[in-house]
């Protein structure tokens, strides 16, 4: 083969030309990326390397009325270990001391941890969870454990911070205080106060910070300020009184447990303001334990039964179609309307009794007969009167889930009205109210006729600044005349005070209560499933009510008992008693001149005698020696009194009505 | 000649050979500091506790050593390289075997590309050395055969056996380097006048060998299998539009290029360097464009094209066939590799992992490039020696070609 220079050079020029073209192609492609695809990639650059990171706002706290914390957010830490990242030498050196420290903190043995961590290292596990949800203090402790102390790269420490909602009161009033729960699918559950005010006040607004990517999962802030500053949530001050809440919760728990009831609720309301001081809702889980399951007080509407007799009588009294002294015949305990029976719980009736007694005895026949007779010609009048007392209005609460009350109306064709609607309404069937709706009416009676809306919130604050105060809201200034109110209050008082009253078991001579029992049948259409709702609604003290309270317990075990007075009454009494004991006694003394009638009388006699007898000897026998002396020595004539003994005068030397002379000596014997 | 140029002459009196090549190399070396320093900041963040100066010093040491090698090599009369290549081929083969047996496995794939130099503790990519030595060896063979009628049979033992041995040893760990070396050998023997029909046979048998290798590797279950699957995927990815790791790298590179626009975002302000896994070596061209814009990219490309031009000139001027082939054999691969690197960044070529000679960080790449340049300079220096001996005739054409 003959190779000459020329041949080489020619081929070289060819190759070099090819490479030059290659270079040109690179250049061309460069231009095409820059100018044809440029915008697309530049947009990608922004998307891939810049992101907005949310800075979560701190959620506001929920406080009780005295400033006790009910709900707050605190940071919690999860600690894990990257079992791979540490060097073999470091790992071997510190693994034992680390596991010793771990077993000192956690319950398992040191060798257990060593085994697990070694296994994780063998399996190249870069995330072995050591502990979850620990506090900041514990996190600091963990950070100083051997190996973990070396940090993320050399030691493999992995720290994740989360924010947890804590409830210092435990499960008490959980449904009412509320929380925000977001499940994996993104569905949000927000019960209670948190649900009502969480989004508006507690949550705050998250901040945003623009960050640029600098390597694997490392982002640096692009600016030295936040694009959107986070705004912390406001604090919400509720009306809940932790002490009353505590009693209510435990008293309810005890009764539920005693009667093996399905669920129940209790609400305590301050009469004047409508502030809900305690609200407890307990339901039973499958294991038979009770917990704050649903907000029954706000959300569960049911037929009230006998507690509604108060509303029925209120209407009738206000319409002046019945008076408490009217006599009704209870007809051996059974009334029949269109083939349906109204029966008394004793199955034999009470003979002829007054309306007042019918209420106190909770005689179904008595009340039904009275109401039926009064309104049978114009039942809509009865319904209208109920409307006038705002009984058909929902309370429009901030806590969601409140159903509207149900009152049958002959003018509204919704299938609720029938021939028996009026008599059945009279004893609380066919109508439906939530416990809180019933309580609101009772509270209005306690409050002299002024119906106030139950309120859960006192105010919303940002530090010390009040953002929104919640004032007392009046639903109806006067639901009925003062006269009617007075009668109703007497009735309610009698239920507890009178020996025959259904609530007499609650009677205490130390403090006064007033209220109405309710033992309502539930699921009565099927005898098999028949159950009871035992309730008690009322207020205390009976004379000058401070708090009203309702207790509703569903499905107590019939074997153990189901009467409202037995099942629900004790909860009511316990709360009343506790509040009575806890309230410092304030006795007001109007004047320092205490007037004891006996002393008063004595004084009167003395005074009278002193005025009458100036010179004539009065009768001092029976008077205290001191008084006798004073009497005689203050007379217009000067007498010398000689007293033998002390105490009450038994004999006087000068007879009554004898004229006395100056310097005359009177001898008195006392003993 | 003026006095001034005489003065310059004394300053560089020890530097022989094509001064423009010296200049281009120096320019490339200087330019390499900026992007390497910038791209390494991300690395520094991870590795050196945020000390970017470490990678700066490292790169400087690499370049300095490279220039020492270059200077040393260019002092060697190039005729010695004939003999040296004969001696070093067996050494290279041994080194390659050692490298292979070290059996480093990265991510389950065989990645035995590096050999640890004892005492110094540095890693060294043996395939880069093998490439230079092999090219010199082939140049030597082709120049020796310049007057004989070469046949396939005759050339198998002295030429193709060493070539295939070297390639076979590199292939398992680095397909792209193997392919580049193979194409460069083909290119060199083509220049040397090797008959094209034999070249087709060689090319065919090379491909066949590759197919066999892949089939064999597929049968195994070790790291070799993983490696082969990686190649397959890379080539598949290049041809289809599925999103994969390689696509992700390419996309980042293109994002970098697009963000650079004409003037670039400014030194050190690259954002994509954080996203690109090989920002200071394989994808440095993209970073250069992001930071210095089209202008920066164009300058780099021009420098390489200019180097190619100078290599052609040096080759043209060399009086011996060996000189010509030697210059081209070691010089063209540098430019070729540079072009491949840039082509990868602009998605003209599948992702290979070839560095940008002299600019990318990485000792081996720099040193071997300097070795090759030293050889080129040695050839051009020899020419100068001869020229000095000749009568100084001021041929205007001569001066023109020297200065361009």
Going by C-beta distance under 8 Å and a sequence separation of 6 or more, which residues neighbour residue A297?
A265, A266, A267, A279, A281, A434, A435, A436, A550, A552
Residue A216: pLDDT band (50, 70, 90) is low
**Test the A interface: residue of B44, B155, B248, B346 with most A CBs within 10 Å:** B346
Mean pLDDT to the nearest integer, A207-230? 77
- Chain B residues with CB-CB distance to A31 below 8 A: 294
Look at B332 and A29 and tell me if their CB atoms are within 8 Å: no
Q: Is B317 on the interface with A (CB under 8 A)?
A: no
Residues A241/A248, Cβ–Cβ less than 8 Å: no
Take residue B297 and report the two structure tokens written for it. 């990219």
Strands (E) located in A58-177: 62-63, 69-81, 128-134, 157-166
Mean pLDDT to the nearest integer, A200-214? 83
Residues B59/B36, Cβ–Cβ less than 8 Å: yes
Residue B304: pLDDT above 90? Answer: yes
Residue B32: pLDDT above 50? Answer: yes
Residues A495/A360, Cβ–Cβ less than 8 Å: yes
pLDDT of B396 reads 52
Residue B1: pLDDT band (50, 70, 90) is very low
DSSP A316-332: HHHTTS--TT-EEE-GG
pLDDT of A581 reads 82
* CA geometry: angle B248, B250, B255, nearest 5 deg: 95
Going by C-beta distance under 8 Å and a sequence separation of 6 or more, which residues neighbour residue A356?
A324, A325, A490, A491, A494
Would strands A465-469 and A457-462 be described as parallel, antiparallel, or unpaired? Answer: antiparallel
Look at A38 and B258 and tell me if their CB atoms are within 8 Å: yes
pLDDT of A433 reads 95
Chain B, 235 to 294: residues with Cβ < 8 Å from chain A are 251-252, 254-262, 271-272, 274-275, 289, 294
Mean pLDDT to the nearest integer, A460-466? 88
Take residue A305 and report the two structure tokens written for it. 């039964």
Residue B400: pLDDT above 80? Answer: no
Average pLDDT, chain A: 87
- Chain B residues with CB-CB distance to A48 below 8 A: 252, 255, 275
Query: For residue range B98-113, what is the model confidence (pLDDT) as tens digits?
Result: 888 775 555 444 455 6
Q: Would you give the DSSP letter of residue A616?
A: B
Average pLDDT, chain B: 81
Residue B387: pLDDT above 70? Answer: no
Look at B190 and A9 and tell me if their CB atoms are within 8 Å: no
Query: For residue range B181-231, what is the model confidence (pLDDT) as tens digits?
Result: 999 999 999 888 888 889 999 999 999 988 888 888 888 777 777 777 777
Residue B266: pLDDT above 60? Answer: yes
pLDDT of B250 reads 82
Give the C-alpha separation, A650 to A622, whole Å: 6
Mean pLDDT to the nearest integer, B300-306? 94
Mean pLDDT to the nearest integer, A19-41? 89
pLDDT of B338 reads 93
Residue A568: pLDDT band (50, 70, 90) is very high
Give the C-alpha separation, B46 to B277, whole Å: 12
Chain B, 117 to 176: residues with Cβ < 8 Å from chain A are 142, 145-150
- Chain A residues with CB-CB distance to B148 below 8 A: 1
Rg (CA), chain A: 42
Q: Which residues pair with B320 in a beta bridge?
A: none
Query: For residue range A328-365, what is the model confidence (pLDDT) as tens digits?
Result: 988 888 888 888 888 888 888 898 999 999 999 999 99
Residue A234: pLDDT above 70? Answer: yes
pLDDT of A1 reads 45
Residues A595/A606, Cβ–Cβ less than 8 Å: no
Query: For residue range A362-390, what is the model confidence (pLDDT) as tens digits?
Result: 999 999 999 999 999 999 999 999 999 99
Burial class (CB in 10 A: 0-12, 13-18, 19+), A439: buried
Query: For residue range B69-80, what is the model confidence (pLDDT) as tens digits?
Result: 999 999 888 888
pLDDT of B176 reads 85
Look at A42 and B255 and tell me if their CB atoms are within 8 Å: yes
- For chains A and B, count residue pairs whose Cβ atoms are closer than 8 Å: 134
Mean pLDDT to the nearest integer, B168-172? 87
Query: For residue range A398-423, what is the model confidence (pLDDT) as tens digits?
Result: 888 899 999 999 998 888 898 899 99
Mean pLDDT to the nearest integer, A186-199? 80
Q: Would you give the DSSP letter of residue A648?
A: B
The stretches of A498-624 forming alpha helices (DSSP H) are: 564-567, 569-582, 597-612
pTM: 0.60
Residue A391: pLDDT band (50, 70, 90) is very high
Angle between helices B245-260 and B321-345 (to 10 degrees): 90
Which of A557-561, B147-151, B328-332, B370-374 has the lowest average pLDDT? B147-151
- Chain B residues with CB-CB distance to A23 below 8 A: 301, 304-305, 339
Going by C-beta distance under 8 Å and a sequence separation of 6 or more, which residues neighbour residue A533?
A302, A303, A305, A518, A519, A520, A521, A522, A552, A553, A554, A555
Query: For residue range A164-178, what is the model confidence (pLDDT) as tens digits?
Result: 888 888 877 787 888
Give the C-alpha separation, A520 to A435, whole Å: 13
Q: Is B210 on the interface with A (CB under 8 A)?
A: no
Residue A147: pLDDT above 50? Answer: yes
Residue B327: pLDDT above 70? Answer: yes
Is the bond into A541 cis (omega within 30 degrees of 0)?
Answer: yes
pLDDT of A3 reads 57
Q: Which among A7, A19, A41 is the nearest to B255, CB-wise?
A: A41
Which of A107-116, B121-130, B282-291, B349-358 has the lowest average pLDDT? B121-130
Nearest one of A653, A648, A601 to A626, comparing CA atoms: A648
Instruction: Find, in chain B, the residue whose alpha carbon is nearest to that of A212.
Output: B271
Q: Which among B258, B297, B339 is the nearest to A45, CB-wise?
A: B258
- The 3-state DSSP composition of chain B as helix, strand, coil percent (nearest 5) reads 75, 0, 25
**CB contact burial A391-420 (16+ within 10 A = b; e otherwise):** bbbebebbbeebeebebbbeeeeeebbeeb
Rg (CA), chain B: 22
Which of A231-245, A432-446, A643-657, B287-301 has the lowest average pLDDT? A643-657
Q: Which residues pair with A547 in a beta bridge?
A: A270, A540
Query: For residue range A287-299, what is the model confidence (pLDDT) as tens digits?
Result: 888 888 888 999 9
Take residue A454 and report the two structure tokens written for it. 């139950």
Q: How many CB atoms lie within 10 A of CB A630?
A: 14
Give the C-alpha separation, A261 to A256, whole Å: 5
pLDDT of A496 reads 93
Residues B279/B42, Cβ–Cβ less than 8 Å: yes
Which of A261-275, A532-546, A626-640, B271-285 has the lowest average pLDDT? B271-285
Going by C-beta distance under 8 Å and a sequence separation of 6 or more, which residues neighbour residue A349?
A330, A331, A332, A333, A334, A363, A365
Q: Is A30 on the interface with B (CB under 8 A)?
A: yes
Percent residues over pLDDT 70 in chain B: 79
- Chain A residues with CB-CB distance to B147 below 8 A: 1-3
pLDDT of B120 reads 57
Going by C-beta distance under 8 Å and a sequence separation of 6 or more, which residues neighbour residue B232?
none
Burial class (CB in 10 A: 0-12, 13-18, 19+), B359: buried
Burial class (CB in 10 A: 0-12, 13-18, 19+), A203: buried
Query: For residue range A126-145, what is the model confidence (pLDDT) as tens digits?
Result: 888 888 888 888 888 888 88
Going by C-beta distance under 8 Å and a sequence separation of 6 or more, which residues neighbour residue A46?
none
Look at B301 and A27 and tell me if their CB atoms are within 8 Å: yes
Mean pLDDT to the nearest integer, B131-157? 87
Mean pLDDT to the nearest integer, A44-59? 81
Look at B297 and A12 and tell me if their CB atoms are within 8 Å: no
Percent residues over pLDDT 70 in chain A: 97
């Amino acid at each position: 083969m003959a190779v000459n220079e020329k041949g080489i050079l020619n081929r070289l020029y060819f190759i070099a030309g090819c490479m030059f073209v290659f270079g040109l192609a690179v250049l061309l492609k460069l231009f095409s990326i820059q100018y044809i695809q440029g915008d697309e990639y530049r947009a990608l650059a922004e998307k891939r390397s810049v992101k907005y990171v949310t800075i979560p706002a701190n959620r506001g706290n929920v406080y009780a009325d005295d400033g006790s914390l009910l709900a707050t957010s605190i940071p919690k830490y999860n600690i894990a270990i990257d079992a791979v990242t540490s060097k073999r030498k470091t790992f071997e050196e510190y693994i034992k001391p680390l596991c010793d420290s771990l077993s000192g903190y956690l319950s398992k043995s040191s060798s257990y941890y060593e085994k697990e961590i070694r296994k994780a290292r063998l399996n190249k596990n870069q995330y072995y969870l050591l502990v979850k949800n620990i506090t900041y203090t514990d996190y600091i402790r963990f950070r100083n454990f051997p190996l973990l102390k070396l940090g993320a790269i050399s030691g493999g420490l992995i720290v994740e911070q989360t924010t947890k909602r804590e409830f210092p009161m435990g499960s008490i009033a959980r449904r009412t205080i509320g929380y925000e729960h977001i499940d994996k699918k993104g569905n949000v559950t927000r019960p209670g106060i948190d649900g009502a005010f969480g989004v508006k006040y507690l949550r705050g607004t998250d901040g945003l910070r623009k960050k640029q990517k600098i390597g694997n999962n490392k982002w640096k802030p692009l600016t030295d300020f936040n694009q959107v500053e986070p705004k912390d949530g406001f604090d919400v001050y509720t009306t809940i009184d932790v002490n009353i809440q505590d009693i209510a919760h435990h008293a309810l728990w005890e009764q539920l447990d005693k009667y093996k009831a399905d669920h129940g609720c209790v609400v305590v309301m301050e009469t004047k303001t409508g502030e809900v001081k305690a609200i407890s809702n307990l339901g039973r889980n499958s294991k038979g334990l009770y917990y704050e399951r649903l907000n029954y007080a706000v959300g569960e509407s049911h037929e009230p039964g006998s507690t509604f007799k108060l509303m029925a009588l209120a209407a009738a009294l206000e319409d002046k179609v019945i008076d408490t002294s009217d006599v009704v015949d209870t007809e051996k305990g059974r009334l029949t309307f269109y083939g349906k029976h109204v029966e008394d719980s004793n199955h034999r009736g009470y003979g002829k009794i007054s309306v007042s007694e019918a209420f106190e005895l909770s005689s179904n026949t008595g009340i039904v007969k009275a109401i039926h007779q009064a309104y049978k010609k114009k039942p809509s009048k009865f319904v209208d009167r109920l409307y006038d007392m705002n009984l058909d209005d929902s309370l429009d609460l901030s806590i969601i889930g409140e159903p509207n009350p149900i009152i049958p109306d002959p003018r509204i064709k919704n299938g609720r009205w029938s021939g028996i609607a009026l008599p059945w309404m009279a004893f609380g069937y066919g109508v439906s109210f939530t416990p809180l709706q019933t309580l609101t009416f009772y509270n209005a009676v306690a409050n002299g006729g002024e119906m106030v809306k139950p309120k859960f919130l006192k105010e919303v604050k940002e530090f010390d600044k009040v953002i929104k105060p919640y004032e007392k809201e009046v639903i109806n200034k006067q639901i009925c005349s003062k006269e009617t109110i007075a009668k109703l209050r007497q009735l309610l008082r009698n239920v507890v005070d009178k020996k025959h009253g259904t609530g007499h078991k609650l009677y205490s001579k130390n403090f006064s209560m007033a209220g109405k029992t309710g033992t309502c049948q539930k699921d009565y259409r099927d005898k098999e499933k028949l159950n009871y709702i035992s309730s008690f609604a009322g207020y205390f003290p009976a004379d000058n009510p401070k708090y009203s309270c309702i207790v509703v317990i569903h499905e107590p075990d019939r074997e153990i008992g189901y009467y409202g007075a037995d099942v629900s009454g004790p909860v009511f009494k316990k709360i009343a008693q506790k509040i009575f004991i806890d309230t410092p006694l304030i006795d007001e003394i109007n004047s320092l001149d205490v007037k004891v009638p006996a002393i008063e009388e004595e004084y009167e006699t003395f005074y009278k005698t002193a005025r009458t007898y100036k010179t004539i000897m009065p009768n001092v026998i029976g008077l205290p020696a001191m008084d006798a002396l004073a009497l005689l020595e203050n007379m217009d004539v000067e007498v010398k009194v000689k007293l033998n003994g002390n105490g009450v005068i038994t004999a006087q030397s000068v007879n009554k009505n004898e004229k006395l002379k100056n310097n005359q000596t009177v001898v008195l014997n006392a003993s | 000649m003026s006095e001034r140029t005489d003065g310059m002459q004394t300053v560089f009196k020890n530097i022989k050979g094509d001064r423009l090549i010296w200049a281009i190399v120096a320019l490339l070396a200087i330019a390499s500091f900026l992007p390497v320093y910038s791209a390494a900041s991300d690395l520094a963040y991870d590795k050196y506790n945020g000390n970017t100066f470490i990678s700066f010093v490292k790169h400087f040491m690499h370049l300095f050593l490279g220039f020492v090698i270059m200077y040393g090599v260019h002092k060697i009369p190039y005729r010695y390289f004939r003999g040296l290549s004969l001696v070093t081929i067996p050494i290279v083969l041994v080194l390659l075997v050692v490298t292979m047996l070290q059996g480093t496995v990265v991510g389950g794939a065989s990645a035995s590309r590096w050999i640890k130099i004892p005492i110094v503790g540095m890693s060294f990519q043996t395939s880069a050395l093998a490439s230079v030595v092999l090219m010199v060896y082939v140049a030597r063979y082709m120049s020796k055969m310049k007057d004989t009628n070469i046949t396939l049979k005759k050339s198998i033992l002295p030429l193709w056996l060493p070539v295939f041995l070297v390639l076979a040893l590199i292939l398992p760990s680095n397909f792209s380097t193997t392919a580049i070396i193979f194409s460069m050998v083909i290119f060199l023997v083509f220049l040397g006048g090797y008959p094209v029909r034999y070249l087709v046979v060689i090319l065919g048998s090379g491909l066949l060998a590759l197919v066999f290798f892949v089939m064999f590797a597929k049968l195994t279950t070790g790291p070799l299998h993983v490696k082969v699957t990686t190649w397959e995927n890379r080539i598949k990815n290049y041809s289809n539009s599925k999103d994969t790791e390689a696509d992700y790298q390419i996309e980042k590179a293109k994002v970098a290029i697009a963000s650079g626009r004409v003037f670039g975002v400014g030194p050190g302000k690259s954002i994509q360097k954080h996203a690109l896994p090989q920002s200071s070596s394989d994808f440095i061209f993209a970073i250069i464009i992001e930071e210095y814009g089209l202008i920066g990219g164009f300058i780099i490309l021009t420098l390489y094209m200019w180097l190619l031009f100078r290599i052609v000139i040096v080759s043209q001027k060399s009086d011996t066939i060996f000189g010509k082939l030697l210059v081209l054999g070691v010089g063209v691969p540098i430019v070729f590799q540079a072009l491949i690197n840039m082509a990868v960044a602009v998605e003209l070529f599948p992702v290979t992992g070839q560095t940008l000679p002299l600019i990318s960080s990485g000792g081996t790449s720099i040193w071997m490039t300097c070795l090759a340049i030293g050889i080129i300079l040695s050839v051009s220096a020899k020419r100068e020696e001869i020229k000095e001996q000749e009568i100084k005739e001021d041929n205007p054409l001569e001066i023109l070609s020297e200065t361009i």
